Structure 1
Amino acid sequence: MIKQIRITTILWLALAATFPSFAQQQQTHTLGSLWPLVKANYPGISARTAAIDAAQLNEQAVKSNMLPQVSAQVQHTYGTYKGNAGAFFPQPGFFNVSGATNPSARSIATAANSFGSAMVEWELFSFGKLRKESQAAGALLRKTVSEKEAYLLHLKKTLAERYITLLYNDAKLNWTAKNAARLDSIRNLTAGLSAAGLRPAADSLLASSSYVQAMGERDKWDGLKNASVIHLVELYGTDLIDYTASARRFSNPVASQVNGESVLTPSHPLLDALDRQSGYHQLSGEAQKRSALPSLRLLGGYAYRGTGIGPEGMVSGAWKDGFSNSTSNVLAGIGIVWNITDLHTSRLTGEKLFKEAERTKLLHAQYKQAMQADLSASQAKIVQQYEQLQKTRLAVRQSQDAYNMYVARYKSGLIALTELLQIRTLLEQAENAHIGASRDYWMLLAYKAELTADFDFLFNNL
């Protein structure tokens, strides 16, 4: 029984010891865990969302032009009332006076007036101009949505590149730290051998000089890593997460993406945005050309007028008398409005918009061709880059084993310090080549992800 209790206690202690490690594994992050933070906090995304909201409001405003347009005015005035026969063209800034030409002797010089009117104007037929304007507004909204999707895709690539740059600078910092540690070990070993008279004092100075240079290089990469942290944090605006797991995956990437298809998706956000832009210019051009045609409108109006001038010629300036002697009138009819002078201008503006639509279509074809070529080229590079990674990883292992052997030979006095430092330089070059190959591999994957509009592999495996 006591033995069983001891076994149970040991099991519980083992579980308690492994729980922090398990919890730490649960908190490991990938590149994909940063994207929701960027999407929630980056101002550029909010700016694109605001542009979509503005396009939606513009579409509603354009559609409201199809509704009857109602205008009204109410005024109460004091003024003279001298009337005269004649005619004039009404222009902005004019006002009309009509009154008795022979007021009574007891009349005053100014009279109170009141006036109110309401007008309804409904464009019944305009050769499809309003419909084309509404369609153009809808195309503008869809274009704005596509531009936001293209922006999000580019922002994902920016996030991936900055994250890869951070991991690269972190790997280089660790690499310089390992180099400094090796040189420090050589320096201590050389100092001991020099003190024992087994090595010349110059060896100690040479080892110390190499160590100081390595520490200076470490300081350089420490600054570059800190700068890359600042650039990365700028995208999501919070504290830097733990990227330890990503640092391990950076130097040991998986190969499942190497044999992927290199076919450009037709619905790529960038191509879709160009297609939407071309459609918007086309519809705007059609609406512009149709605006030169006449429009048939239904007109209706109501007017109320009061005056302080009575039928017998008595004039009153009292405020309330301005509502006396009132008359009301209604007016209804159908009119045709045609700005003939605008025919030439509207035609030229429409042709210009058609040329813009044609230019955008050609850009769409150019971008599609270039992106397909870039995608195929990237796929070929990725395959060879992964092969290089396998070779650089093997070269690092072999160089490390050779370096350990040469350290033992140096301790035994079989080789000189300069030979050991040369072997260490070869190991340093092999490690540096592997770090650079890892960065190039992940950067190629980021570029391919932008071309295919698919960042799932990159977000889940880095």
Structure 2
Amino acid sequence: MKLNFALSPYQTSIIFRSFCYLPNLIKNKSFFVLVILSLFLSETKTRAQALTLSDAIATAKSNYGTLKAKANYINASRASVRQSEKDYLPNLNLSLQQDYGTVNGQNGPLYGLGGLGVASSGLPLASQNWNSAFGAMYLTNVNWDFFAFGRAKEKINVAKSTVVRDQSDLDQELFQHEIRVAAAYLNLLAAQRLTKSWQNNLVRASSLKNVVVTRAKNGLIAGVDSSLANAEVSSAKIAITRARDFEQEQANRLAVLMGVEQQTFTLDTIFIAKIPISFSDSITNSSPDHPLLKYYSNRIALSNQQAKYYQTLSYPTFSAFGVFQTRGSGFNSNYATDQHSYTQSFYDGVKPVRSNYLFGLGVVWNMTSILRVRNQVLAQKFVSNAMQNEYDLIDQQIKNQLLLSNNKIKNALDNYQEAPIQIKSASDAFIQKSTLYKNGLSNIVDLTQALYILNRAETDRDIAFSNVWQALLLKAAAAGDFSLFTSSF
């Protein structure tokens, strides 16, 4: 970073006086060095506090809450893609249980409604008994829906389309936020210039008041002139208060967009020192790559992808499955004839003694789902049509905004060219009226009117510069390319 050590006249005078007392200060070299360094560092710090537009935009991108939220939405969508890809994997279940209880059985039907039925198995004996032993079951189950007419693939595509939509949502929000920050920056700069113009107006009004009061005290003019001059000074003070209030509002707006606390901003004056070097006259139509249009286009693509996924829900699902089961029991194989043939040993009860396995293929097709899915797909297509209507509306608005921006640029340039003429004429008129008034050849009303015209000319000049840049910013927003604005200064 290159440091600028230019010194103000006040700082130069301090150094000069310090050198005058050099014989005394030479005894304290550290004090002299600290004085010099403090002057350099204070000047460097003051200059470093100037906030450029690029710095304001960079700060806003880092701090603004909406941008952070949309970035997290993208992270969530990306996680959903990974989750959708894992859904195609087969289900692998491991089950181990060890139990202690009775095995009384009874002839008759039983349905375990809601999973609340007891699955005890045994002989239907003539009477209840409370013979108890340990038992166990060890189970491994694999279930894989290996073919469902592209359902898993379409679900993954929906998740990927969601990522694309959320990314384009973040892109368009970033673009619009750049425009908002730039507009707020220009508004604050214009407000600061207006405040300065009103301060100049107060200086002129106060000088006029001093002249009028002096002449009135000497009996050269009527006393009512001093009252009018006092009123003009009060009016100028009120105008400054209003200008500062507007400036504070614009500073607050910029601080909110930057995600920082409200403060006094020192802005780059390049936007009031010159006009843009280019207005991109060759751009007459909005581009389909406009961030806002891309976002609306990706919304339509996501909706169409969801319709394709819903369509697969009406098709059957082919599954492959396999089971391996091992059981242990404390009841012996002759328990049917001898109800005393069991053991209450935990180890003998949970030790695996019988195993079974099973492999198979299956298909499940809910025939009535065809009717339900048909209307679900139809509803999603209507949603896509609605989003297409919204896209067309935004596209039309952007085209009109582009045409409007060209007109605003032309009008702003016309006012910019007229502003210097107005300033010179108003300044000449005020000097003439002031000279005539001091020589008793004009009245206070004409002089006040000239003062008002000069102040209006200064404010028109300040606004003219800002309006040229604001018009170019409007065109950059309509064209969807913020570099049209940033490459012009």
Pick the TM interval, shorter chain: 0.7 to 0.9
What is aligned with 1:217?
A: 239
Letter in structure 2 aligned against 1:310: N
Matched, 1:340 2:340: no
Aligned to 2:405: 378
Alignment of 1:83-162 (within 5 A): 83-93=105-115, 94-102=117-125, 108-162=130-184
1:404 aligns with 431
Are the counterparts in 2 of residues 249 and 461 from structure 1 also a CA contact under 8 Å?
no
Structure 2: stretches of 5+ with no match in the other structure: 1-15, 17-36, 336-340
- CA distance in 1 between partners of 2:241 and 2:487 (Å): 32
**Cα separation, 2, equivalents of 1:336 and 1:199:** 109
Deviates more, 1:308-317 or 1:173-182: 308-317
Q: Deviations over 1:389-435 (max 9, x none)?
A: 21123212221222122212221221111110011111222223333
Counterpart CA distance in 2 for 1:253 and 1:103 is 105
Cα distance, 1:317 vs structure 2:
4.2
Matched positions, count: 446
| Corresponding position: 1:70 with 2:97 | no
Deviation, 1:321, is 3.6
CA contact (8 A) 2:326 2:352 kept: no
Worse-matched range after superposition: 410-419 or 249-258: 249-258
Matched with 1:433 is 460
Partner of residue 387 from structure 2, selected from 360, 363, 367: 360
Q: Are 1:38 and 2:65 counterparts?
A: no
Report what 1:442 is aligned to: 469
Percent identical pairs in the alignment equals: 21
Deviation at 1:27, TM superposition (A): 7.0
SS in 2 for 1:119: strand
Tell me which residue corresponds to 1:5.
none
- 1-side partners of 2:484 and 2:217: how far apart? 57
TM-score by length of 2: 0.83
Deviation at 1:88, TM superposition (A): 4.6
1:114 alignment partner, SS class: strand
Cα distance change, pair 410–43 in 1 and its aligned pair in 2 (3 A): same
Secondary structure of 2:87's aligned partner: helix
- Please list the CA deviations of residues 22-45 of structure 1 after superposition, one character each: whole Å capped at 9, or x if unmatched: 997787543122111111122221
Query: Equivalent residue for 2:11?
Result: none
CA shift, 1:164, in A, is 2.0
Between 263-272 and 72-81, report the one with greater CA deviation.
72-81
- Look up the equivalent residue of 2:276 and give its one-letter code: V
- Once structures 1 and 2 are overlaid, which stretch shifts more, 431-440 or 392-401? 431-440
One of 178, 183, 198 as aligned partner of 2:220: 198
Preserved CA contact (<8 Å) 2:329 2:351: yes
Distance 2:290 2:280 in 1: 21
Aligned residue identity for 2:148: S
Query: Does the CA-based 8 Å contact 2:289-2:480 persist in structure 1?
Result: no
Residue 444 of structure 1 and its aligned partner are, at CA, apart by 2.6
Q: C-alpha separation between the residues in 2 aligned to 1:297 and 1:40?
A: 49
Rounded to whole Å, the distance in 1 between the matches of 2:41 and 2:111 is 92
Structure 1 segment 265-284 matched on structure 2, within 5 A: 265-284=287-306
Q: How does 1:315-326 map to 2 (within 5 A)?
A: 315-324=342-351, 326=353
Looking at structure 2, the residues matched to 341 and 322 of structure 1 have their Cα atoms a distance apart, in angstroms, of: 47
Counterparts of 1:375 and 1:283 in 2: how far apart (Å)?
A: 32
Q: Distance in 2 between matches of 1:393 and 1:258?
A: 25
Alignment match, 1:3: none
Give, as a single letter, the amino acid of the residue that structure 2 aligns with 1:58.
S
Tell me the CA shift for residue 237 of structure 1: 3.8
**Residue 90 of structure 1, CA deviation:** 4.9
Secondary structure, in 3 states, of the residue corresponding to 1:199? coil
2:276 aligns to what? 254
Amino acid at match of 1:340: M
Amino acid in structure 1 at the alignment position of 2:468:
Y
> How much does 1:136 deviate?
1.2
Following TM superposition, by how much is the alpha carbon of 1:89 offset from its aligned partner in structure 2, in angstroms? 4.7
Q: Assess, with a 3 A threshold, how the Cα gap between structure 1 residues 369 and 231 changes in structure 2: closer, same or farther.
A: closer
Worse overlay, 418-427 or 372-381: 372-381
Alignment match, 1:243: 266
Shift of 1:329: 1.6
SS at match of 2:135: strand
Q: What stretches of structure 1 of length at least 5 have no aligned partner?
A: 1-12
Q: Secondary structure at the match of 2:114?
A: coil
Structure 1 CA distance, aligned partners of 2:342 and 2:481? 83
Tell me which amino acid in the other structure corresponds to 1:374.
Answer: Q
- Give a deviation string over 1:157-177, Cα, whole Å, max 9, x none: 221222122112212211221
Alpha-carbon separation, structure 1, partners of 2:364 and 2:241: 77
Q: CA deviation at 1:55?
A: 0.3
Distance 2:353 2:428 in 1: 110
Give, in whole Å, the separation in 2 of the partners of 1:70 and 1:44.
41
Using structure 1 for the length normalisation, give the TM-score.
0.88
Q: Which residue of 2 aligns with 1:305?
A: 327
Judge which range, 286-295 or 216-225, deviates more: 216-225
* Alignment correspondent of 1:7: none
**Residue identity opposite 1:350 in structure 2:** V
Residue pair 1:82, 1:97 contacting (<8 A) in 2 also: yes
Q: Deviations over 1:353-393 (max 9, x none)?
A: 12212222232233223312221221122122211221123
- Residues 30 and 99 of structure 1: CA distance in aligned 2, closer, same or farther (over 3 Å): same
1:325 deviation in Å?
Answer: 5.7
CA RMSD of aligned residues (A): 2.9
Paired with 2:346 and 2:320, the residues of 1 have a C-alpha distance of: 36
User: Structure 1 residues 20 and 256, CA, compared in 2 at 3 Å: closer, same or farther?
Assistant: farther
Task: Assess, with a 3 A threshold, how the Cα gap between structure 1 residues 325 and 254 changes in structure 2: closer, same or farther.
Answer: closer
Give the counterpart letter for 1:409 in structure 2: L
Q: Which moved more, 1:159-168 or 1:52-61?
A: 159-168
Which letter maps to 2:430?
Answer: Y
In 1, are the aligned partners of 2:157 and 2:305 still within 8 Å (CA)? yes
Separation in 2, partners of 1:384, 1:144: 38
Asked if the contact 1:308–1:325 (Cα under 8 Å) also holds between the matched residues in 2, the reply is no
Q: Distance in 2 between matches of 1:282 and 1:255?
A: 44
Q: Tell me, yes or no, if the aligned pair for 1:108 and 1:315 is still in contact at 8 Å.
A: no
**Cα gap change, 1:189/1:27 in structure 2, threshold over 3 Å: closer, same or farther?**
same
